[in-house]
Structure 1
Amino acid sequence: MTKVPRKSSKPLLADPDAPLRSRPRKARDPNQARLPFDRMPERIEPCLALLAPKVPKGDNWTYEIKWDGYRLAIHIEPHRVRLITRGGHDWTHRFPSIAEAAKALGGTMILDGEAVVLDEEGRSDFGALQQALGGRGDTRDAPEAMFFAFDLLYFDGHDLRQMDFVDRRRLLETIVEPRGEGAIRLSETIDGDGDDLFQAAREHGLEGLIAKKADAAYHSGRSGDWVKVKCIKSDSFMIVGYEPSSAARGGIGRLLLAAYKGDDLIYVGSVGTGFSERDAARLRRDLNKLKTTKPAIAARDLGVTWVQPTLIVEIEYRAWTHDGNLRHASYKGLREQQDNAAVYRLE
């Protein structure tokens, strides 16, 4: 008679699906070096690109497309995902598609990049992003927005900011697939001569190019390791007043703009095109809450409603006139306070 086998005293033989567990053969040597792990930072001040008139050239420079949107850092942890703006505000709720895609990546990491909305030609459209978000102060989300990742600052317990940029990029490309689809995509580097690439970007109507030093560590602020060259001039200015109009849709004829020179605001011209009737109506409603009798600039202009210098607007323009005003200015949208946009500074 065949004997029924006894239940094994070795659990690994009895349950092949049981997790493998082991015990150390001997006590750990206290003098043995431990693997260093870095605590994930709550927030990292972003590295900002320095505006330059020409594309830097040389073997030590890499190139990318300049995206026109909102700078974000995506913090991915085991039990939460946070989307942090340049100003340090949590906008996870405003970009739900990006947040869901970040959860799917898993692991622990901090991605640096730009949230954008693309037009039909695949170009970033700041105005479309603003419309999706509903304008300054709105709480609307933008599910159509996507995130272009261009740097990896923290990964799997290690702070990568002291690594060379090219090494951080290699790691990033193992996480975000090149030429991938979805709400999180890779901002790909472009090989070629800087001048030729800039000309191609201009011909395709792109915002511009970003040049980055291949061997540079990640430095917060404008260190010069990253340089931006714009095909289309676009900067942020302060609204200091507006000209009411009974003929213009929305009741605004033009917005008066200012830039900083030292600590003072200096008038740099006005803009009367680029905003829709809906934009103008929203602007007038917001500006009427900021009315003041004391202009923020040294100017006397009858018929102008002066406002406190609070709202920052993104303006596209062709050039500067000889007397220091913007030429062919066009309204692109209000910058969000949380975006911490820098008002243009005159030399």
Structure 2
Amino acid sequence: MVKRPSKPRSVPLRKSQPPDLKGGRRRSRDPEQPALPFDPMPDRIEPCLALLKSSAPSGPDWIFEIKWDGYRLSVHLDHGQVRIITRGGHDWTHRFPTIQAAAKVLPVGTAILDGEAVVLDDIGRSDFSALQQALRGRIGKRSAEEAIFVAFDLLYFDGHDLRNLEQESRRHLLEDLIPADGGIRLSQEIEGDGPAILAAACEHGLEGIIAKRRDEPYRSGRGGEWVKVKCIQSEGFAIIGYERSTAAFGGIGRLLLAARKDGQLVYVGGCGTGFNERSATDLRKQLDEIVIDKPAVDTGRKKRDAVYVRPVLIAEIEFRAWTADQKLRHSSFKGLRDPKDNADIYRLFD
């Protein structure tokens, strides 16, 4: 078993400013760590997914981190060759040149890092809309070079598959590998108890926190080893149409949205805010290519000036709450999820 540090490297979540996003100082690897048998390097690993909860867990069995708002990726390093793979298994290496360059100089021959590609705002918070602008590749204020990789797990290291090691041991090895700054950074462990950390994260305007069971191995899928708790809810919804408006950007007065329930899409209301001229114009062009005659989902009362589309585009929607009849409240458009990101459509439960 990997020797654990005598004192876990973590940081308090201060109330005066957002948490430091830089990785901690490097330490020399422990020469007493036992040699492990060599394992073949996986071509791809299905990610461990966090289970959404309404309240933060408590107690010493949990490790807490910030929840990052970006694209889930794995970085594969094989003796100087880098592949950056999306959650859906697509190769996006060319889309993240800064991350690719940072991976090439990591002090390791082979590794698989699990983490999130993000673009940070002026005070160090991840900004999903800014990341989307970077990935569009447009000439403007942002470019793909601004995206960095926040690493929160190490799945393969120097010829060894680490998935059967417990979370704390994998994190110890990850801390030793990640430099203090640059295109790949460490998602730091936050000291404290879950409810207090969540309250501080929300006070800082962060999306939420992730809690991970300290002694669990890495398991693909949504098994409950990782838990996410959000300050403001943000989920993916299928776009099933829009209502026209002559006054709104792109002529989109309100998006019509759907979630999944019992394996079927169901209407969950609309979203009329969060657009700017560029995002609305780009979205309108994509919607005009998938127009259909009748709604794919029953929307109840007939919508005035509605245009219906095939439900193939997934919008990331931020919202505050649900109505009693399961409609979104105070919703705002954050951007489109890329189909290759393999994003989920939100699931409703009775």
What is the TM-score normalised by the length of structure 2?
0.86
Q: CA deviation at 1:131?
A: 0.9
What secondary structure does 1:294 align onto? Answer: coil
| Equivalences for residues 26-41 of structure 1 within 5 A | 36-41=37-42
Encode CA deviations 1:222-262: one digit per residue, 9 max, x unaligned.
01000000011111000000112222121111110000011
| Segments of 4+ moved more than 6 angstroms | none
- Quote how far apart the aligned CAs of 1:187 are: 0.3
Of residues 270-279 and 216-225 in structure 1, the stretch that sits farther from structure 2 once superposed is: 270-279
C-alpha separation between the residues in 2 aligned to 1:303 and 1:204?
A: 40
What are the ranges of 5 or more consecutive residues in structure 1 without an aligned counterpart? Answer: 1-33
* SS of alignment partner, residue 58 of structure 2: coil
Any idea what the Cα deviations from partners look like across 1:271-330, whole Å, max 9, x if unmatched?
111011111111111001101112111133242100000000000011111121111100
Letter aligned with residue 46 of structure 1:
P
User: What are the superposed Cα offsets for residues 15-60 of structure 1, whole Å, 9 maximum, x if unpaired?
Assistant: xxxxxxxxxxxxxxxxxxx973110000000000000011111111
Written as runs of structure 1 = structure 2, the 5 A alignment for 1:235-274 is 235-274=235-274
Q: Secondary structure at the match of 2:109?
A: coil
Question: For the Cα contact (< 8 Å) 2:135–2:144, is it kept in 1?
Answer: yes
User: Secondary structure of the equivalent of 1:113?
Assistant: strand
Once residues 95 and 46 of structure 1 are traced to their aligned partners in structure 2, the CA distance between those partners, rounded to angstroms, is 19
**What residue identity is the alignment partner of 1:271?**
C
Alignment-mate amino acid for residue 157 of structure 2: F
The aligned amino acid for 1:69 is G
In structure 2, the gaps of 5 or more residues are 1-34
The answer on whether the counterparts of 1:64 and 1:188 sit within 8 Å (CA) in structure 2 is yes
Give the corresponding residue for 2:293.
293
User: Aligned residue pairs: how many?
Assistant: 309
Letter in 2 for 1:49: A
Q: 1:116 matched to which residue of 2? A: 118
Which of 1 and 2 has higher RCO (CA within 8 Å, sep 6+)? 2
Q: Which residue of 2 aligns with 1:47?
A: 48
Q: Give the match for residue 227 of structure 1.
A: 227
SS at match of 1:202: helix
1:143 aligned residue (135, 142, 145): 145
Partner Cα separation in structure 1 for residue 195 and residue 36 of structure 2: 45
Contact 2:166 / 2:217 at 8 angstroms: preserved in 1?
yes
Query: Alignment identity in percent?
Result: 62
Is 1:184 equivalent to 2:175 in the alignment?
no
Return closer, same or farther for 1:281/1:35 CA change in 2, 3 Å cut-off: closer
- Partners of 1:198 and 1:122 in 2: CA distance: 17
Measure, in 2, the Cα distance between the counterparts of 1:233 and 1:245: 27
The residue number in structure 2 matching 1:203 is 203
Q: Residue 285 of structure 2: SS of its match in structure 1? A: helix
Contact persistence 1:94–1:141 (CA under 8 A)? no
TM-score (norm 1): 0.87
Aligned to 1:172, the other structure's residue is in SS state helix
Give secondary structure in 1 for the equivalent of 2:90. coil
The whole-number CA distance in structure 2 between the counterparts of 1:262 and 1:103 is 45
SS at match of 2:292: coil
> Residue 64 in 1 paired to residue 73 in 2?
no
Q: Which residue of 1 aligns with 2:4?
A: none
Matched, 1:129 2:131: yes
What is the SS of the residue equivalent to 1:143?
helix
